[in-house]
Chains A and B, each alone.
Chain A
Amino acid sequence: MNILEFHNVKKDYQLGETIVHAVRSIDLTVRKGDFAAILGASGSGKTTLLNLAGAIDDPTDGSVIINGQDVSRLTDNQKADLRNRTIGYIFQMFNLISVLSALENVMLSLQIRGGRPSVIREEAAQRLKEVGLTDFMHHRPDKLSGGQRQRVAIARALITKPLLILADEPTANLDHRTAQSIIDLMKELNENEGVTFIFSTHDQRLIERVKRVVRIDDGKIA
């Protein structure tokens, strides 16, 4: 089953008077259960590709199909719902909400969707347990290490039971040991729960563990 499809997708940006062709006519398919890395040099279009896959950016041309839905036909609010229900995000800088505890950060996606707070709280606590952070659930991000923050971000991405998790350089700001544990965790989720992962990464440690590598060079798949 195809989770994600790119059909002749292009993305251009206006930078002053210059037009930058970040993504050029890409065709791509991602199947359920994939554990794929998008590999490329800086400025090759990795992050743009990930943004398009996550429906947080719109293609200039072509179509992005997520779980059978053409994103370009959706309204802004429909895209927001699609992101909430279908896609999980793990950011390079973790992007946790600083005034919320680890538990509250994990609860956030479900609270955006709506639901009983007590049920959401229980669910979030369970996710934090799965990533080994039960003892830190009431800590705010500034009281957590980089690895712990990334685990919180992973728990947050998982709580909505998404079809697809997009991770932009998830290990870039982590030391070797922490990065390994994060990679192990994501691999485990992929193998045991069938969660589909797409990474953009330079990290060789991660590249060695993925099932599939998509190389991108100057906006095109090499």
Chain B
Amino acid sequence: MLMWFTISLRNIVKNGRRSLMTILAIALGFAAINLFQGYVHSTYEGLTNAAIHGEGLGHLTVFKKGFLTEGKLHPEKYQFTRDEADRIAGLLKRQPGVKLVTPRLSLSGIISNGKNSTIFIAQGLVPSDDVVIRGDLTVFTSFKGSYLADRERAGVVVGSDLAEMLGLKIGSEAVVLSNTYSGMANALDVKVLGIYNNGSAATNDKMLLMTFRHAQDLVDVQGAENLVVLLKNEKDGKASAAAAAEVSKLLAGAGFEVEVKTWEELSVFYNQVKNMFDMIFLFIFIIVLVIVIMSVINTMSMSVMERTREIGTMRALGLKRYGVKFLFATEGALLGLLGSIVGSILFFTAYAVIATMHPTYVPPASSNPVPLRVDLVWSSLVRSACFLGMLSLVAAFVPARKSARMTIVDALGHI
């Protein structure tokens, strides 16, 4: 075994320039895959956090069954009554893994400053619960004024682009007009308590936050549209699917017909970005795959051709056909391994540069710059090294098979 390893390694060194080209191709592929994987990992972590906390989705959302399909057209039929909402919340709060359950109400309408008007999209929420889910928004540098309070009945927080559009300032008064669930128009006076940039270019000019009670008053309902659940001790939002199944079972057992959705299912932005990144990763991966395979096959084909007489000699000495394949496969695997080692050096160099320079960029659908981060994902590094090693081994098999099939006489006579 050691002899084959020695022969393989020495042949790699002997054909230094050629081997270096192949090793570099593998190394660049390794570094590219892992840098992108590290970037994607940090992005997914950020997006997960943004979805659960930033968007305020929490980990789970409980809807009345049918709400997601019919609720937009007939919201009145798919509301939880006050009693239902209280009972569901009570049941869930008693579960050991649940940190918080809070009611929500979404609505839209027209907001006017008396001279101009525009559409708004509002969320009616319980401010003290929202602070637990989303954190204190007032710590954001863009936040001006104060946040909502649980007992607030007329105050609102608006998006900075909406405020600018209507010339609203802290303390400004406005009127919000919406349809009630019974189809009547309803209008309420509101006072601007706070203004901030919600980070989404698409909604910052429409966003409005109001208390849950205020929203109930505007659309004239007693119940809630859905209940948001925040779990304790959940890392990265990964356990949500299992938790959703448990909550569904629990509520079904208590006689409630509900749909429980995870943040991952509800966050359109997260899924769009994840799908896009997954697709990009697949492209990069395929390109790297093709380059590595072609490089290794090319290098090994030349190696096989140059060593045909040597192989004939070894077969004459008693080396079996599979021994020939094994010899070249070892050389291929070594190229893959060396490529991964050099690739690791390239990766860690780039990782250190990024960690030191702290570059930022403005992602799509956002108005604020975010840091460009590459996470160190050890499992990805190990997996890539193993994969590229195996790929190189398999790629070496193609020319090795041809060499092994040759008759000894032909191999010995090869010039």
Contact = CB atoms under 8 A, between A and B. Distances in A.
B14 interface: yes
Contacts of B6: 99-100, 104
Contacts of B355: none
A62 to B, nearest CB: 17
Contacts of B313: 89, 91, 95, 97
A192 B408 CA distance: 32
A89 B318 contact: no
Given A76-B320, A80-B315, 17 more contacts: A56-B316, A57-B407, A57-B409, A80-B319, A84-B317, A84-B318, A89-B313, A89-B317, A95-B309, A100-B6, A104-B3, A108-B317, A109-B317, A109-B318, A112-B318, A113-B318, A117-B3
17 contacts: A56-B315, A56-B409, A76-B320, A77-B321, A80-B319, A80-B320, A81-B318, A83-B316, A83-B317, A85-B318, A89-B313, A89-B317, A99-B14, A100-B7, A109-B318, A112-B318, A117-B3
Interface of A: 51, 54, 56-57, 76-77, 80-81, 83-85, 89, 91, 93, 95, 97-100, 104, 107-109, 111-113, 117, 156
Nearest to A56: B408
B412 A99 contact: no
Nearest to B8: A99
Given A56-B408, A56-B412, A108-B3, A97 B320 contact: no
B412 A107 contact: no
Contacts of A93: 309
A51 B412 CA distance: 10
B238 interface: no
Contacts of A57: 407-409
Contact of B314 (A76, A85, A99, A108): A108
A112 B310 contact: no
Interface of B: 2-3, 6-7, 10-11, 14, 309-310, 312-321, 323, 407-409, 412
A98 B310 contact: yes
Contacts, number: 69
A99 B11 contact: yes
A92 B263 CA distance: 76
A80 to B, nearest CB: 5
Instruction: Name the 9 nearest CB pairs between A and B, nearest first.
Output: A84-B318, A99-B10, A56-B408, A95-B313, A112-B318, A80-B320, A111-B3, A57-B409, A109-B317
A117 B2 contact: yes
Nearest to B315: A80
A54 B412 CA distance: 13
Contacts of B2: 117
A91 B412 contact: yes
Contacts of A113: 318
A76 to B, nearest CB: 6
